[in-house]
Amino acid sequence: MRILVTGAAGYIGSALVRALAPHEVVGTDQSAPASVLGNLAYPQFARSLITPEVDAVFHLASLVSGGAEQNFELGTKVNLDATRDLLEACRLAGRCPKFVFASSIAVYGGAAEVTDETPVAPRLSYGAQKLLCEILIDDYTRRGYIDGRALRLPTVMVRPGSANTAVSGWASAIIREPLAGRDYVCPVRPDTRMACISLRRVVEALVHASRIPDYGSKRTVLLTGIPVSAEQMWNAVKGRASGKVRFQPDPEIQAIMDGVPKATFSRRAQELGFRASANIEEIIREYEEASVAHHG
């Protein structure tokens, strides 16, 4: 198989590329490591990535929540227009590749507990852009241009290195920084909860989504995200961390976090064989194992 991965140098993308290693993978991003360097905000570049030889597309590239909120024009170009350019390129190539799309639970807005029946109601431009992409994927699939498979991702953690522009970036930093011996000022209250899933489970889910023979009439699946509070995250590492955490809520970030889903549960995902993280301890253990393997 020849597989295209957008956002290949990113947190999820780089892990996915490693998981797809037996296949011929073309990874694209704005920075190395990537097979093809370029910016998806430029239509000509996005459309050039789809050739008749491409069997599957994993579209992960995006400008995440905080960035898309701060720069509406760029968020629209990267999150919506680039997705449509890729879909159009698939249509014009005359094939029907599998098109696996990383969507987000940001499509739900203010619902605290999300299930398969929860109506979508995005409150951020990022969530609105992801939802529009899901609708496009449904229609392109209906018309036989692609075989679309979208996953609504909870907060994926623990992100190594520096944070991106995601509003939920604190959820990784509150674990990563103390374990690395650095103090961290958490911008939300200790009782602030997030729907969480580990990087390992998300990569498994993306690969699994591409392999399911019958994805059903609904082309978007919600992944289950376990509810974890900032205090629980800190308590899970406190005993062995040399760095300290201090809670100092930022009103703007707190207001956004108060409106995001605190937990997600999908019976459909369960029936299709997608696995959730068991608890915060498992998520941290997987992060530490991956760190040792990466540096080893």
Q: How far apart, in whole angstroms, are the C-alpha atoms of residue 288 and residue 85?
A: 38
Buried b (16+ CB within 10 A) or exposed e, 80-118: bbbbebbbbbbbebebbbbbbbbbbbbbbbebeebeeeb
Q: Torsion-angle region of residue 59: left (phi > 0), alpha (psi -120 to 50) or beta?
A: beta
CA-CA-CA-CA dihedral for 281, 286, 291, 293, to nearest 10: 140
CA angle, 270 then 275 then 277, to 5°: 125
Question: φ and ψ at 286, to 5 degrees?
Answer: -65, -40
According to DSSP, residue 98 is labeled E
246-267 burial, b for 16+ CB within 10 Å, e for fewer?
ebebeeebeebbeebbbbbbbe
**8 Å CB contact between 238 and 194:** no
**Stated length of the chain:** 296
Active-site hit among 11, 108, 126, 140:
126
Does the annotation mark 126 as catalytic?
Answer: yes
Question: Catalytic residue numbers?
Answer: 126
